[in-house]
A and B are shown apart, each in its own frame.
Chain A
């Protein structure tokens, strides 16, 4: 069995036990990338030389007893919106083509301190705007389960790379479901932590008030270990929260007895694919069988989440992306007369259609005369949605829901109807608006052979409840993880 079939923690243990070296692990990962990536295109940047050099150093560190954790020497990929000093970081955009950051993102630094070996940077929707990884300037990523389908997005490259075993785990970012939805489409596990848990310093912002970095991995145990490594209080991020509990792996307990699980009726209505619905309700039954207490309830306000999200996210994005102007770094148009034309041409040529759409949308909702009607109203809606969740969490420990209305759609299906694409975010975006943690994990396979994901949402700072519930469910799962690869080979 390939080293890449192991979970990150399994591989890490073998490395600690000197059964394999970090260099051997990295070499196997590159072998797998060479085998798979021409078909899947999970990666934007592959840094073989750098990674092997780093693996040697980490191995030395392990031998000297400097790296003792379960992630030391384990090969990973990063979503390409995480800054890596000296390594091209593009956000899958032409406007950042060849851009090399001068510093490394805090979450990545934390991983480096745990001995991670970074293989390269994963494909994504341009500036994390999209749900399919088709808006990337560098081309689409394909779903390892079926090459005719999308991997989801925006962290599609990260999730597909994990599913295709090109790396042991990956980092993604989640602004409206960008970790959870592609995790579901690719049959892997991903966590969107509570807002403020992982430092955003060095994450190239899409929507600052919603963005959160999180792990994508083969299972719940890996996710907990990675979250434990990347989460930290960071004085460089004013929205970072000083938490008491960073020991997420202690929640890897097979026990949901008495755990109160709320099932929001509003998430199981019209628009939800019957097979997905069936699979998730089945998963709920499984948890009930383990001792959890299920109850249906009405969350309310669900239909307002999408408009509120697209107003807030686009507004912030229109400002966050203003810095990409051709002046300081990144792409600048070749021929121009004067400053204004340089701005206009650089940005028109540098950004893709979806990004431009959201910049225009965001600029519009912030313009004088519209601010109150759109942006302010969206902020109020956001507050009401948070209140609705607060009420729910008075009664439930976790909320169980679908991740997406369907399994992975076919390539090109989504982009021709952006509104439809926006609507498919319905089950994931409320967690971002309310700042809640969520976990997405596989719970079945549909008749097309594509994975179905289920989502558990928790109250702020209740990741451990999610991890416990997800871990307990995962232990009941019987299908093989490596099934994904059949679609490619």
Chain B
């Protein structure tokens, strides 16, 4: 009988912080500037330039630490990690090794067998590197230092995860926490959240850790899942063949759905870490810590509980709405205006989600204003417009944030409530569709649908379908 294996996974997650300026200088962190336009002597490693710590970076790191139940190191220090690479202008990265800012935390994830704690070993602050570009025409490499010095935190988990689902749940949890804190947008595809997977396998029941590998270049949840499954199989195969797993760093190629070794432990670099002498220790006073603690926004878990209680919406709705901070913000703001939580929730869960999918958008990219959605809900509730018109108007709100009152007015979309007008049209429809009338009278209920449709069409959608239905039944009964 073949042996059973358990996968042991730990994660190193890099998150780019949403500060306006870089970690050690006043340069902008904005994306997309022309190469080397967001640079200064500090982030290009000019001789004599010195780093100065951005206070906001510390505050974000503390906020993430508090939200993940970490102990905050109130005297943390920076260290230099020395290695040569052209994207690294000083040939050392300022990071934290000996005294990271956060330690010993955890987050809880939901698993089929209940809630599970995933330990966080530490969170530390560091700077990002620049970007190398190869110029094929000139056959040379160029460096863009715009990203150099963009602040990162690295969240190092304990080896507490056992499969890809747990890993995704953990990442999702982190992503939501950090997004809720406003500390980062955490986009895997764009690299503002990056995960390196440390994985080993061992025989089920064993308590000793196997030799692990580190997998890099994982740009989506799908890639992470595939890489974990692939690496698990690769390691088990090696063990089954009686071979040993080599401790190494591997790079995932998502197109080929396979990984290859980048460097083994033997040629792992000695980073010669030592305390950064150009920076002083960061003293985090009780007072400062208390201020940050007081400013912590409500996180998703708390929101879930409150939504069910305060707004009386189903768990399913609450889950979906809180799955992105932007969505939750829209929900709360809109509900505050129209006081109809369930209706707001429906618009967000159905139409908003559908349009987001259609336009391949993330919740963070939503731009419509809560006021307009609230007005739309009011219009529908008052019966001023029917539901199909409402959908049409919402699409306009979603895309262009139009004012629904004005739009409905200008485009004459208001439902016609004048009974005499409706009666005239219905009479005309009955007259023009004798076959359908006969079918209905012969007991074919389906024909009614067609007649309603014809009436709505003739009314250019501006009728209340229920009123149309009623009018049709009335007139067909009396038999004109």
Interface contact A235-B86, CB-CB below 8 Å: no
Within the complex, what minimum Cβ distance (angstroms) separates B152 from chain A? Answer: 19
Interface contact B274-A238, CB-CB below 8 Å: no
| Residues of B close to A82: CB separation below 8 A | 48
Interface contact A319-B278, CB-CB below 8 Å: no
Given the complex of chains A and B, what is the CA–CA distance between A472 and B49 in angstroms?
A: 38
Per-residue CB proximity of A95-107 to B under 8 Å, as 1/0?
0100101110100
Q: For window 33-85 of chain B, which residues contact chain A by CB distance below 8 Å?
A: 41, 44-53, 80, 82, 84
| Candidates B45, B53, B272; contact of A367 at CB < 8 Å | B272
Within the complex, what minimum Cβ distance (angstroms) separates A377 from chain B? Answer: 13
Binds B, one of A199-207, A297-305, A463-471: A199-207
Interface contact A323-B50, CB-CB below 8 Å: no
Within the complex, what minimum Cβ distance (angstroms) separates A100 from chain B? Answer: 11
Is B280 part of the contact surface with A, judged by Cβ < 8 Å?
yes
| Residues of B close to A237: CB separation below 8 A | 50, 52
Chain B minimum-CB-distance residue to A201: B50
Is B91 part of the contact surface with A, judged by Cβ < 8 Å?
yes
Interface contact B277-A366, CB-CB below 8 Å: no
Is B105 part of the contact surface with A, judged by Cβ < 8 Å?
no
Main secondary structure of the interface of A (DSSP, over half): loop
Per-residue CB proximity of A72-103 to B under 8 Å, as 1/0?
00000000011100000101000010010111
| Residues of B close to A203: CB separation below 8 A | 48
Given the complex of chains A and B, what is the CA–CA distance between A91 and B47 in angstroms?
A: 10
Interface contact B49-A201, CB-CB below 8 Å: yes
Interface contact B82-A366, CB-CB below 8 Å: yes
Given the complex of chains A and B, what is the CA–CA distance between A343 and B86 in angstroms?
A: 10
Interface contact A83-B48, CB-CB below 8 Å: yes
Given the complex of chains A and B, what is the CA–CA distance between A371 and B79 in angstroms?
A: 13
Interface contact A323-B53, CB-CB below 8 Å: no
Interface contact A99-B50, CB-CB below 8 Å: no
Known pairs A209-B277, A236-B52, A238-B53; A367 contacts B270 (CB<8 A)? yes
Is A133 part of the contact surface with B, judged by Cβ < 8 Å?
no
Number of interface residues of A (CB under 8 A): 45
Known pairs A203-B48, A323-B47, A325-B91; A238 contacts B279 (CB<8 A)? yes
| Interface magnitude class on chain B | 20 to 34
Chain A minimum-CB-distance residue to B25: A236
Given the complex of chains A and B, what is the CA–CA distance between A428 and B275 in angstroms?
A: 24
Main secondary structure of the interface of B (DSSP, over half): loop
Given the complex of chains A and B, what is the CA–CA distance between A371 and B97 in angstroms?
A: 13
Known pairs A315-B274, A366-B274; A101 contacts B82 (CB<8 A)? no
Interface contact B48-A201, CB-CB below 8 Å: yes
Interface contact B52-A101, CB-CB below 8 Å: no
Known pairs A204-B48, A238-B52, A328-B44; A322 contacts B277 (CB<8 A)? no
Chain A minimum-CB-distance residue to B83: A322
Per-residue CB proximity of B255-286 to A under 8 Å, as 1/0?
00000000000000010111101111000000
Is B164 part of the contact surface with A, judged by Cβ < 8 Å?
no
| Candidates A200, A238, A328, A366; contact of B45 at CB < 8 Å | A328
Q: For window 289-328 of chain A, which residues contact chain B by CB distance below 8 Å?
A: 315-316, 318-319, 322-325, 327-328
| Candidates B50, B51, B270, B277; contact of A368 at CB < 8 Å | B270
Is A270 part of the contact surface with B, judged by Cβ < 8 Å?
no
Interface contact B143-A327, CB-CB below 8 Å: yes
| Residues of A close to B273: CB separation below 8 A | 366, 371
Within the complex, what minimum Cβ distance (angstroms) separates B47 from chain A? Answer: 4
Known pairs A89-B47, A328-B44; A322 contacts B274 (CB<8 A)? no
Chain A minimum-CB-distance residue to B86: A327
Is B368 part of the contact surface with A, judged by Cβ < 8 Å?
no
Interface contact B84-A322, CB-CB below 8 Å: yes
Per-residue CB proximity of A148-174 to B under 8 Å, as 1/0?
000000000000000000000000000
Interface contact A103-B46, CB-CB below 8 Å: yes
Given the complex of chains A and B, what is the CA–CA distance between A99 and B47 in angstroms?
A: 10
Q: For window 210-265 of chain A, which residues contact chain B by CB distance below 8 Å?
A: 235-239
Is B92 part of the contact surface with A, judged by Cβ < 8 Å?
yes
Given the complex of chains A and B, what is the CA–CA distance between A166 and B80 in angstroms?
A: 41
Interface contact A102-B52, CB-CB below 8 Å: no
Within the complex, what minimum Cβ distance (angstroms) separates B201 from chain A? Answer: 28
Within the complex, what minimum Cβ distance (angstroms) separates B426 from chain A? Answer: 79
| Residues of B close to A319: CB separation below 8 A | 80, 82, 92, 272, 274
Q: Which 3 A-B pairs have the closest CB atoms?
A: A322-B91, A366-B272, A208-B277
Ordered by A's residue number, 21 sampled pairs between the chains whose C-beta atoms are within 8 Å are A81-B48, A83-B46, A200-B48, A202-B49, A208-B277, A237-B50, A238-B50, A238-B51, A238-B278, A315-B274, A316-B277, A319-B92, A319-B274, A322-B82, A323-B45, A323-B89, A325-B86, A328-B89, A329-B47, A371-B272, A371-B273
